[in-house]
Structure 1
């Protein structure tokens, strides 16, 4: 029973890591830039859902959709206004995103204060499957998360715009030679990447507390997932995100919190020693 419950909890957390890592990978694949502000977009997504749901009394799903659209637009504008001169300049781009992260985090502190905020459950009650008891709020979040991921897959795999974006991720120069206006896809790629981080924050807002520091841990886990999955590999990020969530849940079941963290990082180290390029290698999008 406990193992089955841990599996369910691990899949929920794994979805959070998956969203973060896929968005992080998308930004890196398009711009060849490590976005250190990625966790802050998760935090802003959580605050966005909190404000829209509790302040404007919108339905939770409407709040998540509006948060996603706003994050994509704001992310695209930030890329065009701030990051455009630094495209494919890894070092300077990384420094600028660190500064952007500090601005966003301290701005959230000024507006919302340092105290964590709790968002009301989007749906009450539980569902029992055999011996497993699952809060309906988690089922609600998981179903919507899977829907968003399915739409992202369809967009990247079948739409003309999505295929062009994948081509830019695969090889910027070849995509340009083939007539794809690759530079148009920088704001789109960055906007989609941070939009996924914002959706992760919005979906998890009812399950965890919301604060200006909410994005720190998800950002760290996103780094781990991206490296485990293979730098630049979206399928690898999916596999690694779910695997990390399950590993974390199982470790927390059998060990204390500090010991569980040691076990998780030990597993990561062993996997990287055995598979230096990650689970699915590099660049498979």
Structure 2
């Protein structure tokens, strides 16, 4: 492959990777925007979503699209219950709420270890073959995952923009005090926002399960990348998270292609530091008083 072909391949892989990070990051941003806590259990919902998809497809022979949908529904319900049982006392206590999510992450990971063991599990590919576009080769399995990701993001955009509950979530993310004055019931928005946020993490895990192995420890790296994306995009900014996801995915792909994985990680952190030096609030973050 010539230099141009290698560059185009790296860019396409980076865009795909960025879209995969985006679901995780949007869920993380949504939880932070609604509850103002950093949800360290986000990675474990990603892991549980991967295990749920693995069980549905590999053990119960459920078609992959139905498995992804069922995983999301179960995660939203589970997230609603977890917020009500565990995080409700910390709705106005951001520091202790964050500590509570660390404990929740440890509990969920331990339960996964007991239930599934430490060994990696593998899920069948959702599609075989690859698509050739000139010098670019795109595995069909990754295109299917990207298609699902885009579909989920379009549905989420429609929900946030055109439904009553979606507008309530957006209002809370933008300004909790004003939203409360307007009659929005925060006690219902909190569990809904947390449920949808962790549901998006579970979908990300379900979509990545056919591409990678599944184990109780797979959520750590995606959580780190999601955290970087959220900081780079601007805390609470969903459009910022989208832009940052693509930048991180492309930077990681280009770094891995030309310099190796270790240099790729360094390049990502250098990129983040440079951008935050110019824009401390992130790409699309808002300055707070």
User: Which of the five TM-score ranges fits, normalised by the shorter chain?
Assistant: over 0.9
Q: Cα distance, 1:282 vs. partner?
A: 3.0
Does the 8 Å CA contact 1:29/1:169 hold for their aligned counterparts?
Answer: yes
Q: Cα distance, 1:88 vs. partner?
A: 2.6
Matched with 1:8 is 12
Matched with 1:65 is 69
Matched with 1:127 is 131
Q: Give matches, 1:203-282, under 5 Å.
A: 203-282=207-286
Between 1:271-280 and 1:258-267, the stretch displaced more is 258-267
Could you list the per-position Cα deviations for residues 204-263 of structure 1 after superposition, in whole angstroms to 9, with x for gaps in the alignment? 110111111110000001110000000111110011011101110001111122122112
1:23 to 24, 27, 36: 27
Q: Aligned partners of 2:185 and 2:87: how far apart in 1?
A: 18
Does the 8 Å CA contact 2:240/2:284 hold for their aligned counterparts?
Answer: yes
Corresponding position: 1:157 with 2:161: yes
Does the 8 Å CA contact 2:251/2:268 hold for their aligned counterparts?
Answer: yes
SS in 1 for 2:119: coil
**CA 1:150–1:206 in 2, change beyond 3 Å: closer, same or farther?**
same
Does the 8 Å CA contact 2:27/2:197 hold for their aligned counterparts?
Answer: yes
Could you list the per-position Cα deviations for residues 66-114 of structure 1 after superposition, in whole angstroms to 9, with x for gaps in the alignment? 0000000000010011111110311110111000000111111111111
1:199 to 203, 214, 223: 203
SS in 2 for 1:176: helix
SS in 1 for 2:132: strand
Does the 8 Å CA contact 1:232/1:283 hold for their aligned counterparts?
Answer: no
Corresponding position: 1:185 with 2:195: no
Corresponding position: 1:115 with 2:111: no
Alignment coverage as a number of residue pairs: 284
Q: Cα distance, 1:283 vs. partner?
A: 8.3
Gaps of 5+ in 1: none
Corresponding position: 1:86 with 2:93: no
Runs of 4+ in 1 over 6 A off after TM superposition: none
Q: Aligned partners of 1:27 and 1:127: how far apart in 2?
A: 36
Q: Aligned partners of 1:128 and 1:67: how far apart in 2?
A: 32
Matched with 2:150 is 146
Does the 8 Å CA contact 1:231/1:283 hold for their aligned counterparts?
Answer: no
Between 1:243-252 and 1:253-262, the stretch displaced more is 253-262
Cα RMSD, aligned residues only? 1.2
Q: Aligned partners of 1:136 and 1:259: how far apart in 2?
A: 28
Does the 8 Å CA contact 1:233/1:283 hold for their aligned counterparts?
Answer: no
Matched with 2:57 is 53
Q: TM-score, normalised by structure 1?
A: 0.97
Could you list the per-position Cα deviations for residues 89-147 of structure 1 after superposition, in whole angstroms to 9, with x for gaps in the alignment? 11110111000000111111111111111111011111111121111111111111100
Does the 8 Å CA contact 2:251/2:264 hold for their aligned counterparts?
Answer: no
Does the 8 Å CA contact 2:142/2:211 hold for their aligned counterparts?
Answer: yes
Q: Aligned partners of 2:89 and 2:10: how far apart in 1?
A: 46
Does the 8 Å CA contact 2:281/2:287 hold for their aligned counterparts?
Answer: no
SS in 1 for 2:202: helix
Q: Aligned partners of 1:144 and 1:91: how far apart in 2?
A: 35
